[in-house]
Amino acid sequence: MIYRKLQPDGSVNGFHRQAACRCTTRMIAWIVCALTVSSMASPQTGIVRGSVRNGGGQALPKAQVTAVPSGGSFATSLPSVSVDKHGSYLLRLSYGRYRILAVDQSEGYLDARFSLGATTANDFPEVTVSPAEVTGADVVLRAKGGVLEGLVLDDPSNNPIQDAKVRILDAQHPEQFVETFTDSKGHFEGVVPEKPVPIQITAAGHSSVEQTDGRPFTVPIGERRTIIVQLSRE
Protein backbone atom coordinates (compact mmCIF):
# COMPACT_ATOMS: atom_id res chain seq x y z
CA MET A 1 0.00 0.00 0.00
CA ILE A 2 1.28 3.48 -0.94
CA TYR A 3 0.63 6.42 1.36
CA ARG A 4 0.68 10.04 0.09
CA LYS A 5 1.06 13.01 2.37
CA LEU A 6 -1.94 15.35 2.54
CA GLN A 7 -0.77 18.96 2.24
CA PRO A 8 -2.28 21.85 4.31
CA ASP A 9 -4.04 23.20 1.19
CA GLY A 10 -5.82 19.89 0.66
CA SER A 11 -3.61 18.73 -2.21
CA VAL A 12 -1.77 15.45 -2.30
CA ASN A 13 1.96 16.08 -2.70
CA GLY A 14 1.11 19.43 -4.32
CA PHE A 15 -0.88 17.81 -7.15
CA HIS A 16 -3.86 20.18 -6.89
CA ARG A 17 -1.57 23.20 -6.75
CA GLN A 18 0.38 22.12 -9.86
CA ALA A 19 -2.79 21.36 -11.82
CA ALA A 20 -4.26 24.74 -10.91
CA CYS A 21 -1.04 26.46 -11.94
CA ARG A 22 -1.02 24.74 -15.33
CA CYS A 23 -4.70 25.61 -15.85
CA THR A 24 -4.09 29.28 -14.98
CA THR A 25 -1.10 29.47 -17.33
CA ARG A 26 -3.14 28.03 -20.19
CA MET A 27 -6.00 30.43 -19.50
CA ILE A 28 -3.67 33.45 -19.56
CA ALA A 29 -2.11 32.26 -22.82
CA TRP A 30 -5.57 31.81 -24.37
CA ILE A 31 -6.69 35.30 -23.31
CA VAL A 32 -3.50 36.90 -24.69
CA CYS A 33 -3.97 35.03 -27.98
CA ALA A 34 -7.63 36.07 -28.23
CA LEU A 35 -6.79 39.72 -27.57
CA THR A 36 -4.04 39.62 -30.20
CA VAL A 37 -6.35 38.12 -32.83
CA SER A 38 -9.07 40.64 -31.96
CA SER A 39 -6.61 43.51 -32.29
CA MET A 40 -5.45 42.23 -35.68
CA ALA A 41 -9.06 41.79 -36.91
CA SER A 42 -10.24 45.25 -35.84
CA PRO A 43 -8.88 48.00 -38.12
CA GLN A 44 -7.42 51.01 -36.38
CA THR A 45 -9.33 54.22 -36.96
CA GLY A 46 -8.65 57.93 -36.81
CA ILE A 47 -10.71 61.12 -36.96
CA VAL A 48 -10.99 63.68 -39.77
CA ARG A 49 -12.66 67.05 -39.18
CA GLY A 50 -13.45 69.80 -41.64
CA SER A 51 -16.18 71.89 -43.23
CA VAL A 52 -18.03 72.34 -46.51
CA ARG A 53 -18.40 75.84 -47.96
CA ASN A 54 -19.10 77.52 -51.26
CA GLY A 55 -16.68 79.69 -53.21
CA GLY A 56 -17.77 82.72 -51.20
CA GLY A 57 -16.90 81.07 -47.90
CA GLN A 58 -20.50 80.44 -46.82
CA ALA A 59 -21.33 77.20 -45.01
CA LEU A 60 -23.42 74.59 -46.86
CA PRO A 61 -25.46 72.96 -44.06
CA LYS A 62 -27.19 70.43 -46.35
CA ALA A 63 -24.03 68.92 -47.78
CA GLN A 64 -23.11 65.24 -47.57
CA VAL A 65 -19.44 64.28 -47.13
CA THR A 66 -17.88 61.06 -48.44
CA ALA A 67 -14.35 59.66 -48.05
CA VAL A 68 -12.93 57.82 -51.07
CA PRO A 69 -9.68 55.84 -50.65
CA SER A 70 -6.90 57.29 -52.82
CA GLY A 71 -6.71 55.34 -56.04
CA GLY A 72 -10.22 53.99 -55.49
CA SER A 73 -13.64 54.92 -56.80
CA PHE A 74 -16.92 55.94 -55.26
CA ALA A 75 -19.15 53.26 -53.78
CA THR A 76 -22.29 53.58 -51.74
CA SER A 77 -20.71 51.58 -48.91
CA LEU A 78 -17.99 54.17 -48.30
CA PRO A 79 -18.13 56.29 -45.12
CA SER A 80 -20.52 59.20 -45.53
CA VAL A 81 -21.88 61.77 -43.09
CA SER A 82 -24.06 64.87 -43.16
CA VAL A 83 -22.62 68.19 -42.05
CA ASP A 84 -24.12 70.11 -39.13
CA LYS A 85 -25.85 73.49 -39.33
CA HIS A 86 -22.45 75.19 -39.43
CA GLY A 87 -21.29 73.09 -42.39
CA SER A 88 -18.86 71.12 -40.20
CA TYR A 89 -18.33 67.35 -40.29
CA LEU A 90 -16.51 64.56 -38.47
CA LEU A 91 -15.50 61.28 -40.12
CA ARG A 92 -14.06 58.23 -38.36
CA LEU A 93 -11.97 56.27 -40.88
CA SER A 94 -9.60 53.32 -40.98
CA TYR A 95 -5.93 54.27 -41.31
CA GLY A 96 -4.96 55.18 -44.87
CA ARG A 97 -5.11 57.96 -47.43
CA TYR A 98 -8.43 59.40 -48.63
CA ARG A 99 -9.91 62.08 -50.85
CA ILE A 100 -12.74 63.96 -49.15
CA LEU A 101 -15.69 64.73 -51.45
CA ALA A 102 -18.90 66.63 -50.76
CA VAL A 103 -22.30 66.77 -52.45
CA ASP A 104 -25.01 69.41 -52.15
CA GLN A 105 -27.48 69.06 -54.98
CA SER A 106 -30.08 71.06 -53.04
CA GLU A 107 -27.97 74.14 -53.86
CA GLY A 108 -27.39 73.07 -57.47
CA TYR A 109 -23.79 71.83 -57.10
CA LEU A 110 -22.61 69.04 -59.39
CA ASP A 111 -22.18 65.58 -57.89
CA ALA A 112 -18.42 65.01 -58.17
CA ARG A 113 -18.76 61.39 -57.03
CA PHE A 114 -19.60 60.60 -60.64
CA SER A 115 -17.50 61.34 -63.71
CA LEU A 116 -20.17 63.55 -65.32
CA GLY A 117 -19.86 65.97 -62.41
CA ALA A 118 -16.08 65.83 -62.17
CA THR A 119 -14.41 69.23 -62.34
CA THR A 120 -11.25 70.96 -61.18
CA ALA A 121 -13.26 73.95 -59.95
CA ASN A 122 -13.93 72.33 -56.55
CA ASP A 123 -11.46 71.85 -53.72
CA PHE A 124 -11.42 68.25 -52.44
CA PRO A 125 -8.60 67.73 -49.92
CA GLU A 126 -6.57 64.54 -49.59
CA VAL A 127 -5.80 63.39 -46.06
CA THR A 128 -3.78 60.66 -44.38
CA VAL A 129 -5.63 59.07 -41.47
CA SER A 130 -3.37 58.03 -38.57
CA PRO A 131 -3.47 58.15 -34.75
CA ALA A 132 -3.16 61.94 -34.92
CA GLU A 133 -6.50 63.67 -35.54
CA VAL A 134 -6.77 65.41 -38.92
CA THR A 135 -8.31 68.88 -38.82
CA GLY A 136 -8.90 71.55 -41.43
CA ALA A 137 -9.94 69.10 -44.18
CA ASP A 138 -12.17 71.74 -45.75
CA VAL A 139 -14.14 71.19 -48.96
CA VAL A 140 -15.05 74.07 -51.29
CA LEU A 141 -17.85 73.60 -53.84
CA ARG A 142 -17.96 75.96 -56.82
CA ALA A 143 -19.22 74.07 -59.89
CA LYS A 144 -22.98 74.29 -60.42
CA GLY A 145 -25.36 72.87 -62.99
CA GLY A 146 -29.03 72.61 -63.85
CA VAL A 147 -31.57 70.29 -62.22
CA LEU A 148 -33.02 67.50 -64.32
CA GLU A 149 -35.94 65.71 -62.67
CA GLY A 150 -38.60 63.35 -63.88
CA LEU A 151 -41.16 60.62 -63.33
CA VAL A 152 -40.82 57.04 -64.54
CA LEU A 153 -44.19 55.36 -65.07
CA ASP A 154 -45.43 51.94 -66.12
CA ASP A 155 -47.10 51.67 -69.51
CA PRO A 156 -50.07 51.21 -69.71
CA SER A 157 -51.07 51.51 -66.02
CA ASN A 158 -49.28 54.84 -65.41
CA ASN A 159 -48.27 53.56 -61.97
CA PRO A 160 -44.92 54.85 -60.69
CA ILE A 161 -41.94 52.53 -61.05
CA GLN A 162 -39.71 52.40 -57.99
CA ASP A 163 -35.96 51.67 -58.17
CA ALA A 164 -35.69 52.33 -61.89
CA LYS A 165 -32.08 53.17 -62.73
CA VAL A 166 -31.59 56.52 -64.45
CA ARG A 167 -28.24 57.10 -66.12
CA ILE A 168 -27.50 60.61 -67.40
CA LEU A 169 -24.58 60.69 -69.84
CA ASP A 170 -22.36 63.18 -71.61
CA ALA A 171 -23.45 63.06 -75.27
CA GLN A 172 -19.86 63.54 -76.46
CA HIS A 173 -18.24 61.28 -73.86
CA PRO A 174 -20.73 58.53 -72.87
CA GLU A 175 -18.20 57.00 -70.47
CA GLN A 176 -18.91 60.03 -68.26
CA PHE A 177 -22.24 59.75 -66.47
CA VAL A 178 -24.18 60.13 -63.24
CA GLU A 179 -26.63 57.53 -61.92
CA THR A 180 -29.65 57.82 -59.67
CA PHE A 181 -32.71 55.71 -58.83
CA THR A 182 -36.40 56.52 -58.67
CA ASP A 183 -38.17 56.67 -55.31
CA SER A 184 -41.51 55.10 -54.35
CA LYS A 185 -43.31 57.76 -56.41
CA GLY A 186 -41.21 57.07 -59.50
CA HIS A 187 -39.42 60.40 -59.08
CA PHE A 188 -35.76 61.09 -59.77
CA GLU A 189 -33.63 64.21 -59.66
CA GLY A 190 -30.05 65.10 -60.45
CA VAL A 191 -27.81 68.08 -61.10
CA VAL A 192 -26.18 68.00 -64.53
CA PRO A 193 -23.61 70.24 -66.26
CA GLU A 194 -24.74 72.61 -68.99
CA LYS A 195 -24.07 70.28 -71.90
CA PRO A 196 -26.11 67.82 -74.02
CA VAL A 197 -27.07 64.81 -71.87
CA PRO A 198 -28.99 61.78 -73.16
CA ILE A 199 -30.80 59.69 -70.52
CA GLN A 200 -30.95 55.90 -70.27
CA ILE A 201 -33.62 54.35 -68.04
CA THR A 202 -33.89 50.70 -67.04
CA ALA A 203 -36.23 48.86 -64.67
CA ALA A 204 -36.86 45.21 -63.85
CA GLY A 205 -39.58 43.68 -66.01
CA HIS A 206 -39.62 46.63 -68.40
CA SER A 207 -37.97 47.53 -71.68
CA SER A 208 -35.10 50.01 -71.44
CA VAL A 209 -35.39 53.38 -73.13
CA GLU A 210 -33.13 56.26 -74.06
CA GLN A 211 -34.98 59.52 -73.61
CA THR A 212 -33.73 62.34 -75.81
CA ASP A 213 -36.81 63.88 -77.50
CA GLY A 214 -34.88 63.55 -80.75
CA ARG A 215 -31.82 65.22 -79.27
CA PRO A 216 -30.00 65.19 -75.91
CA PHE A 217 -31.30 67.48 -73.19
CA THR A 218 -29.42 70.60 -72.18
CA VAL A 219 -30.32 72.20 -68.86
CA PRO A 220 -28.89 75.71 -68.29
CA ILE A 221 -27.11 76.38 -64.99
CA GLY A 222 -29.57 77.33 -62.28
CA GLU A 223 -32.62 76.12 -64.21
CA ARG A 224 -34.83 73.05 -63.79
CA ARG A 225 -36.32 70.74 -66.40
CA THR A 226 -38.93 68.03 -65.79
CA ILE A 227 -39.63 65.00 -67.99
CA ILE A 228 -42.06 62.06 -67.84
CA VAL A 229 -40.96 58.67 -69.13
CA GLN A 230 -43.13 55.58 -69.66
CA LEU A 231 -41.62 52.10 -69.77
CA SER A 232 -43.38 49.25 -71.56
CA ARG A 233 -43.57 45.87 -69.89
CA GLU A 234 -41.49 43.09 -71.38
**Amino acid, res. 115:** S
Positions of the chain with pLDDT under 70: 1-43, 72-77, 115-117, 212-215
Please, which residues have CB within 8 angstroms of residue 9's CB and are 6 or more apart in sequence? 16, 17
Tens digits of residue pLDDT in 126-174: 999 999 999 999 999 999 999 999 999 999 999 999 999 999 888 888 8
The CA radius of gyration of the chain, in Å to the nearest whole number, is 29
The predicted structure's pLDDT at residue 72: 61
Q: Domain 45-141 adopts which CATH fold? A: Immunoglobulin-like (2.60.40)
The predicted structure's pLDDT at residue 182: 97
The predicted structure's pLDDT at residue 213: 56
C-alpha–C-alpha distance, residues 75 and 2, integer Å: 75
Superfamily, domain 146-232: Carboxypeptidase-like, regulatory domain (2.60.40.1120)
**Amino acid, res. 48:** V
Structural domain boundaries of the chain? 11-42, 45-141, 146-232
**Amino acid, res. 74:** F
